[in-house]
Amino acid sequence: MVHKVLSEQGAGSITTTAIRIRESGIERRARFRGLAEPLSLLVALAVLIGVFSLLNERFLTTSNIQNVLTQSAIPLIVAVGATLVILLGSIDLSVEGVMGATGMTWILLSNNSRGGADLGPWAWVIALGVALLLGIASGLIFTALKVPSFIVTLGMWYVGLGIATMLYGTDLLPRLQDEGLKGWTSRISFGLPNSFWVALLVIGLGILVLRSTRIGRVTLAIGNSETIVRSAGLPAFPVKVAVFAIAAVLSGLGGILATVQLDIGSPTVGSGVLFIVIPAVVIGGTHLAGGKGGILRTVLGVFLLTILNNGLILSGVESSYQSAVTGAILVAAIVFAAWSQRDRLRVAK
Amino acid sequence: MSNLTTTPAVLHLNNVSKSFGSNRAVRGVSLSIQPGEVIGLIGENGAGKSTLLKILSGNYRHDEGTIAVNGREVQFRGPADALRAGIGVVHQEQSLFTNLTIAENIEVNTPIGRGGVNRLGLYNWRRLYADAAQALDLIGSHLNPKTRVSDLSFVDRQMVEIARAIRVSAASHTTPLVILDEPTAILERTETAILEREISKLRDIGSVIFVSHRLDEVMRICDRVVVMRDGELIADRTVDDVTEEELFRLMVGRETHAAVRSRRSIDPANSPVISIHDLTRAGSYADVSIDAYPGRVLAILGTSGSGRESVARAIFGAEGFDSGSVSIAGYSGRQLTIKKAVALGVGYVPAERKTEGMVGEMPADQNITLTHPGSAALGPFELPRRRLSLARAWFEKLDIRPREPGHTLQDFSGGNQQKVVLAKWLNSSHLKALVLDHPLRGLDPGAAETVNAQIRSVCDEGTAIILIPDTIDEALDIADDIVVMRDGRISGVFDLGHDNPATLDLLERML
């Protein structure tokens, strides 16, 4: 043994065995971890569906499933953007404000009960442009002025609400007149609600951006360490602004769909969405510190929360209790989801 | 080496200087490196090594002098320029994205439209994996490029960093110059051997600047050693005509205190301060029994899988154990917590000084009184003036420099930070034992020596010391007892009062 260590040959063989053992261990661990996390989410989802279908036979009917899918479509679209922002290690709280401003802009430029201009497709472009501007503004203030995203987007939420309220003015409710658009979101094509098809498209694009584009990869890198990103000469600044812009446009799209669904323009069209989106991202397993997570996990998180809401209503939980019950379950779910990340001697701040 | 004169130097520095305000961090450094050469760069902390490296990596711009790479003069405007010129720096603090795969980390600087990134900025994963595998292959590593970096050990991460460093220059067909900034500072013995092998492979494809604090390593790995002191390059020697002692003297500016500790065997009349018995933690270590006596340094040796760090943390209550017992000063309980251990008079200097050992944003004096306020406290209050004078006394006693206890701790150098961390525990009125987890990690030899001297004097005052050393030499230098662990079990116990184990005896029990 001693001589083996001494001679060149011996040292070589010891180290190569050590390397090989370590390499196989690495792969085993990685494979296990890759499966374990989404699996526990799927199990939770299955349990939830099982419990609710036992409590109420209406839960697993086609019409209720389509109902759940319609309900989940808008949170899904918004959550794709929120996931990207959270992967940066930032947060976007402006969701509901951007939804309000975009939705209101859109309906006032479309065929509505107040009359005015009907710009058709241009209404979409201009409304989403408003969302884009709000997103770029958040992104620039966040990156150039180095204000925490939490504060910037909290402000931008109210800026968005303010824009929506100003547009709303004191006139009558703007009601959607276009018969083709009324109820479009929940109408079924090829077995699924239209709005859910839009959500699927957004999810697909989101996954493509995150997995296979520079923006997506640098987003993950920034979430890990912005210092390293800068010292590697990667474009941290533009990517951060772009991610906030993408998130805002997706919120805006959600705002337009929500307006279509509601039939009328309202500044508070996005009310309650933030409360589903952020927890869904976290329950999905995306780290609030950034760098780890993904869009498919968020999708599972949104389903979990939407089904929870839908199931509670169907199971006859009194509406006065409902928000308390949802809140409590949410906290429990987050504690459960974050359990594996606990570490001794590591303080949560 | 016959082509020394015909090919241009990979790197040629001529009279390079850099100042920060009035502080001239690098003064007139001239240096030339030939292809295939491995240069050792040594110097104490603050000698200007890091500034010089940051100039080479494009993070700083030099004020004076010229830099030529492969015979052409260059001006780096940023890290990307240096990379493109073929200079890859493997930093002391790791600069890998731990949440991404090996392949992505290696290919991170691939410009759009080249390699695995098409003109639309879309990634071709198969191509990225193949290119990364090729870069790894060049340095003889067979890591799977799809593995996430967070799953890698430290030495494997170094491999990935080296692969990334040579990847850019391989793409632009220039001879790479790889700068390794203290790559072995926190590696275990076997891992160092692996790294040394890789460095010798690098010799075939490019040149290497190897920055290290371990003089024996520098002597073994390098062809030539350059020494920096006070911003100047004061010596440039081939390893054949210089000795370790000479290098130390050049670097520190004084002779080594090769004071060998006079050792006695364990006094049978003494009883141990800390006694652990058959301690077991599934998957980490088993049946570990260790006794630590007052006034003795007990070193635990082992490789990274030996479980010795876990044992040390268990003694301090920072990690649980499944069975066995830990008794401290007569107290023996099932559930040992950090709070209990501290109350019993145990101190712990963690390996992760910056994150676990100190509060960098706090002034040094507040760090000292953090755990044991001592005379600075009046009931629940702390009196700032008393705290400051208490801290001044410790600064004097431990020779902590600069003598500014009011400065935030992160502004001090590593060795002085470590002394403040020590003072935090020494300020206890009832300190009985100190657990030191890699106390010299990342310290330059001069600082390491003064920290070691303090550890010795603390020990001589009757404190029991349990030490997890970085190297075997460190253990032989300071310990009275040596316990060797292999794969979670004790494989050897030596009382240096009457045993005299050779380095190889110890190494054999570790591997």
Distance CA B429, CA A71 (A): 65
Q: What percent of chain B has pLDDT over 70?
A: 93
Q: What is the pLDDT of residue A198?
A: 96
CB contact under 8 A, B190 and A14: yes
Q: What is the pLDDT of residues A25-47, one digit of tens each?
A: 555 555 555 555 677 788 888 98
Average pLDDT over residues B26-54: 86
Whether B156 contacts B164, CB under 8 Å? no
Question: What is the dihedral sign for C-alpha B453, B457, B459, B460?
Answer: positive
B255 class by beta-carbon count within 10 Å (0-12 exposed, 13-18 middle, 19+ buried):
exposed
Distance CA B197, CA B221 (A): 9
B504/chain A closest Cα distance in angstroms:
7
Ranges B96-105, B164-173, B182-191: which has the least confidence? B182-191
Residue A25 lies in a domain: no
Residue of B nearest to A286 (CA): B99
- From the candidate CATH numbers 3.40.50.620, 3.40.50.150, 3.40.50.300, 3.30.1300.10, the one assigned to the domain spanning B274-510: 3.40.50.300
Q: What is the pLDDT of residue A340?
A: 57
Packing angle of the helix pair A295-314, A8-55 (nearest 10 deg): 20
Asked whether the predicted pLDDT for residue A343 surpasses 70, the reply is: no
Distance CA B497, CA A125 (A): 84
Residue A349 banded pLDDT, cuts 50, 70, 90: very low
Residue of A nearest to B95 (CA): A228
**Higher model confidence: residue B225 or residue B141?**
B225
Decide whether B2-252 matches B274-510 in CATH topology.
yes
Q: What is the pLDDT of residues B49-106, one digit of tens each?
A: 888 888 888 888 888 899 988 888 888 888 778 877 888 888 766 788 888 999 988 8
Residue B35: phi and psi, rounded to 5, are: -55, 140
Q: What is the pLDDT of residues B196-245, one digit of tens each?
A: 777 777 888 888 898 887 788 888 888 999 998 888 888 888 888 888 88
Residue of A nearest to B105 (CA): A221
Question: What is the dihedral sign for C-alpha B3, B4, B8, B9?
Answer: positive
Segment (H or E) for B16: strand B11-20
CB pairs under 8 A between A and B: 92
In B, what residues contact A, Cβ < 8 A?
Answer: 59, 78-80, 83, 95-100, 104, 108-109, 112, 117, 121-123, 125, 142-144, 147-148, 151-153, 156, 190, 193-194, 197, 318-319, 356, 504, 507-508, 511
Distance CA B498, CA A278 (A): 65
Maximal C-alpha separation, chain A: 94
Distance CA B373, CA B391 (A): 11
Residue A346 banded pLDDT, cuts 50, 70, 90: very low
CB contact under 8 A, A5 and B95: no
Domain of residue A214 covers 35-338
Q: What is the pLDDT of residue A341?
A: 55
Whether B346 contacts B292, CB under 8 Å? no
Residue A291 lies in a domain: yes
| CATH number for the segment(s) B2-252 | 3.40.50.300
Distance CA A329, CA A304 (A): 11
What are the structure tokens assigned to A85, written together? 């922002």
Integer angstrom CA distances of residue B278 from B324, B326, B428? 5, 9, 30
Q: What is the pLDDT of residue A209?
A: 93
The answer, for A27 touching chain B at a CB cutoff of 8 Å, is yes
CB contact under 8 A, B122 and A223: no
Q: Strand runs (DSSP E) across B153-257, as ranges? A: 177-181, 207-211, 224-229, 232-238
| Domain count of the fold of chain A | 1
Average pLDDT over residues B173-188: 74
Residue A71 lies in a domain: yes
Residue A348 lies in a domain: no
Residue A40 lies in a domain: yes
Say which DSSP state B117 is in: B
Mutate to test the interface with A, among B84, B149, B151 (most CBs of A within 10 A): B151
Whether B441 contacts B466, CB under 8 Å? no
Average pLDDT of every residue of chain B: 83
Residue B451 banded pLDDT, cuts 50, 70, 90: confident
CATH of residue A264:
1.10.3470
Q: What is the pLDDT of residue A28?
A: 57
A167/chain B closest Cα distance in angstroms:
39
Domain boundaries, chain B: 2-252, 274-510
Mutate to test the interface with B, among A224, A230, A346 (most CBs of B within 10 A): A224
Residue A325 lies in a domain: yes
Residue of B nearest to A290 (CA): B99
Residue A101 lies in a domain: yes
Q: Which residues of B touch A234 (CB under 8 A)?
A: 108-109
